[in-house]
Amino acid sequence: MRRADDPDYCVAVVGAGIMGQGIAQVAIMGGIRTLLYDAKEGAAERAREAVTKRLRRLVEKDRLKSSDVDDMLAGLEIVPKIDGLAPADTVIEAVFEDLDIKTEVLRSVEARTSEACIIASNTSSIPIAALARNSKKKDRIAGMHFFNPVPLMKLVEIVRGPETAPEIIEVLSVLARRLGRTPVTVKDAPGFLVNMGGRAYTTEGLRIAHEGVASPAEIDAIMRDCCHFPMGPFELMDLTGIDVNFPVTQIVYDGYMQDPRIKTSPLHRQLFDAGHFGRKTGQGHYRYDASGQMMDPPSPDFETEASPAARVSLAEDDPSLRTFCEKLKLTVSESATEGIPILAAPLGDDCTHIAIRTGADPKRLVGIDLTGDHARRVTLMTPPGSDPAILAAVAAAVRASGRKATVIKDSPGFVAQRVRAVIANLGCYMAEVGLAGPSDIDLALKLGLNYPLGPLEIAEDLGLRTTLLIMTRLQDITGDDRYRPSLWLKRRALLDLPIDVPA
């Protein structure tokens, strides 16, 4: 087996669609001799033209030299027949995401390459064990999952099948770096790492909307402004396409024996069945024009002309809440004087349970989420039967401070706490079952999904005990095992250990 950093190393790409084009492009940009094959007549030639145009545009933008592009393109060879793959040291399969089709391609590649050739599949969800099942040399089959668009997305998941030899993983990792990508080694499992870890963000957003706690626009705004995600979960689903993210969610859900922690909601299926796939169809969670711009997006902001509250009391003494009241120029009364708002900043609780536990008047109780960043937007919630005038007065005080207010219905953990804790908990579970190490889990989700923090970093940012508290209260209040805490999280929180302490 040859080293991937050898100057004359040869890579072959089978499949000249969008992913195959991207892989071929980064390969030649890495100075690697690259063979491109597609069974469909003319497809490889059209792919070469597309790659050429993209590289020439980089020249126009002064990102590459014309002479360098000429050298790169000289290293891209169109292979008219599959027999032409014989010189390859590694073959990367990038055909349609179908087990039977991929298995047949891998069988054909194996028959035409040397025993030293590595065969990697760009599958995003099909187990490597299933792809290698009928292979003669299962030890040389692995996954090499790139992300779309390949030239821009730096992450590559190197997927270790049950029988993949360790040296194969090492060669592919070196190859990925030579292609300018960042490799993360992942255990063979449904959805691998990123597609598994990404389920938490979208499915919890869907669950919150399904419960009527908040609208998609409100949830998206909270996750952008308070948690620094570049897109809210509903914007993200509309961008990737419901036709993509719903089937992937179901594959991962079924692959994990229908674990409720990754279960989606009826709205997701409803949009899929209706063909409302998001930007590509003009309708998803939002409406879009022909250029993909959102049309008439609903406002996530609570508007009121009420006079701002001047005095409030606290349901229970909370230094952080007192400090926040000072920022809003609210005078805190030491007694729950009749008629003034009663504020609380629950962790994992809803206002209903705060009222029961503290004896606070539920009609005047307003919950404020103080986790995350509340410099731009503040989330408020009230229990059923609360006085709208009390809520409006508190919201007016928030608005008077230059912040936006989003008002949601009673929910354990508000929105941001729920979503972040669920992401963190699923990340801890992935570490628990050995999908990858904690640092690689964080790296993969930041590179693959543009998360501001990785799942385990979110757990540390919230605090392990706080994350555990939120998950425990969510499970207790809802009775739903969707929120059962990972043992990885629970043990480290209870023992006051760092999240990356090994088992």
Q: Is 210 a catalytic residue?
A: no
Query: How would you write 253-276 as a 3-class SS string?
Result: HHHCCCCHHHCCCHHHHHHHHHCC
Count of C-beta atoms within a 10 Å radius of residue 210: 14
Query: Which residues are 313's β-sheet partners?
Result: 333, 342
Query: Which residues are 21's β-sheet partners?
Result: none
**Which residue among 145, 268, 285, 374 is the active-site one?**
145
For 133-283, where are the alpha helices, taking DSSP H only?
166-178, 194-197, 199-210, 216-225, 233-240, 242-255, 266-274
Q: Is 320 a catalytic residue?
A: no
Q: Are 79 and 39 in contact (CB under 8 A)?
A: no
Maximum alpha-carbon separation in the chain: 85
**Which residue among 124, 215, 313, 411 is the active-site one?**
124
Q: Tell the residue number behind the tokens 């990792």, with chain if given.
A: 173
Q: Is 450 a catalytic residue?
A: no
Residue of 43, 41, 47 whose CA lies nearest to 24:
47
**Which residue among 157, 204, 235, 457 is the active-site one?**
157
Q: Are 360 and 354 in contact (CB under 8 A)?
A: yes
Q: How far apart are CA 472 and CA 348, in angstroms?
A: 8
Q: Tell the residue number behind the tokens 């504020």, with chain if given.
A: 343
Question: What is the chain's Cα-based Rg?
Answer: 26
Query: Which residues are 242's β-sheet partners?
Result: none
Q: How far apart are CA 240 and CA 457, in angstroms?
A: 25
Phi-psi region of 184 (alpha: psi -120 to 50; beta: other; left: phi over 0): beta
Q: Is 145 a catalytic residue?
A: yes
What's the CA angle centered on 243, arms 240 and 247, to 5 degrees? 105
Query: Which residues are 380's β-sheet partners?
Result: 368, 407
Q: How far apart are CA 494 and CA 20, in angstroms?
A: 47
Residue of 144, 138, 137 whose CA lies nearest to 186:
144
Q: Are 369 and 378 in contact (CB under 8 A)?
A: yes
**Which residue among 121, 122, 195, 386 is the active-site one?**
195
- Tell me the catalytic residues: 124, 145, 157, 195
